[in-house]
Amino acid sequence: MVYIDHQGQTHKVTYQSHGQLHQQQ
């Protein structure tokens, strides 16, 4: 999953099975 934040930067986001959000810039 890739999303663009309010600054227009692209981040790869992975969701772990326990539901926490981990953000890799």
pTM of structure: 0.20
Q: What does each of the 25 residues of the chain score in pLDDT, given as a tens digit?
A: 666 666 767 766 665 554 555 555 5
Q: Are 4 and 10 in contact (CB under 8 A)?
A: yes
For residue 17, the model assigns a pLDDT of 52
For residue 7, the model assigns a pLDDT of 76
d(CA 4, CA 23): 12
For residue 1, the model assigns a pLDDT of 66
Ordered by start, the domain boundaries in the chain are 1-25
What secondary structure letter does DSSP report for 6?
T
Q: Are 3 and 11 in contact (CB under 8 A)?
A: yes
For residue 15, the model assigns a pLDDT of 55
Q: Which structure tokens are listed for 16?
A: 């772990």
